[in-house]
């Protein structure tokens, strides 16, 4: 395994403000990574049904064949903590979802949902070590960093910043799920607010 939602149309950019979407940096990374021009895309039902990645890849290279697959169970599995590399439930679901893409011979797989990289080792093991996994969040962050650097806006302070999270729902639920994504306890940094007051 190697690592490297939008409507299909580019959003309008506000004057003077850089706008970075998820779709295009991810599609560019996948098109650069594929060797056999067979790219798989996995995402939520809404993402796959929109055809947004399919269109974005076609704009970049019309020879790329796209094989997409809805993987709706991955989100609740991640949110409920079924994320261990050896979790049998998640492995079985991954095999069920990804078997057709593997058999189609894709050599690059876009993980088109923020939850999927949490189980990337399971996805990678299911697909095989020759398949390059493209993390949409990571590619968007790389693009954002490049834009900030080009505009001289990267922070050069050596000190780390602080984080605070404000939620309108249950603090415990958010803290648990965010802790999975961030790999640390954020309980003290989460605060509940009443959105009706804002």
Q: Looking at residues 160-171, what average pLDDT do you find?
A: 86
- The pLDDT value recorded for residue 12 is 55
Structure tokens at 190: 């989460």
Q: Which domains does the chain have, with CATH numbers?
A: 2-148 (3.40.50.1860), 165-197 (no CATH)
pLDDT score recorded for residue 9: 46
Average pLDDT over residues 128-153: 92
Closest to 136 (Cα-Cα) out of 41, 16, 67, 35? 41
Q: Label residue 169 left, alpha or beta by phi (over 0 means left) and psi (-120 to 50 means alpha).
A: beta
Q: At what angle do helices 23-33 and 52-60 cross, to 10 degrees?
A: 50
Using left for φ > 0, alpha for ψ between -120 and 50, and beta otherwise, residue 152 falls in: left
**Stretch 64-77: mean pLDDT, rounded?**
97
Where is pLDDT greater, at 126 or 161? 126
Query: pTM score > 0.95 for this model?
Result: no
Quick check: 128 and 1 in contact, CB under 8 A? yes
């Amino acid at each position: 395994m190697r690592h490297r939602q939008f409507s299909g149309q580019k959003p309008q950019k506000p004057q003077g403000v850089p706008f970075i979407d998820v779709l295009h940096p991810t599609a560019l990374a996948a098109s650069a990574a594929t060797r056999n021009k067979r790219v798989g895309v996995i995402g939520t039902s809404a993402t796959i049904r929109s055809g947004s990645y399919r269109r974005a890849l076609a704009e970049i290279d019309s020879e790329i064949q796209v094989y997409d697959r809805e993987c709706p169970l991955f989100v609740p599995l991640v949110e409920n903590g079924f994320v261990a590399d050896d979790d049998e439930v998640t492995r079985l679901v991954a095999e069920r979802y990804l078997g057709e893409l593997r058999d189609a011979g894709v050599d690059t797989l876009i993980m088109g949902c923020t939850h999927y990289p949490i189980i990337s080792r399971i996805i990678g093991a299911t697909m095989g070590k020759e398949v390059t996994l493209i993390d949409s969040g990571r590619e968007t962050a790389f693009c954002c960093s490049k834009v900030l650097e080009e505009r001289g806006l990267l922070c050069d302070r050596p000190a780390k910043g602080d984080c605070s999270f404000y939620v309108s729902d249950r603090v415990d639920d958010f803290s648990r799920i965010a802790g999975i994504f961030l790999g640390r306890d954020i309980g003290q940094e989460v605060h509940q607010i009443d959105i009706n007051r804002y």
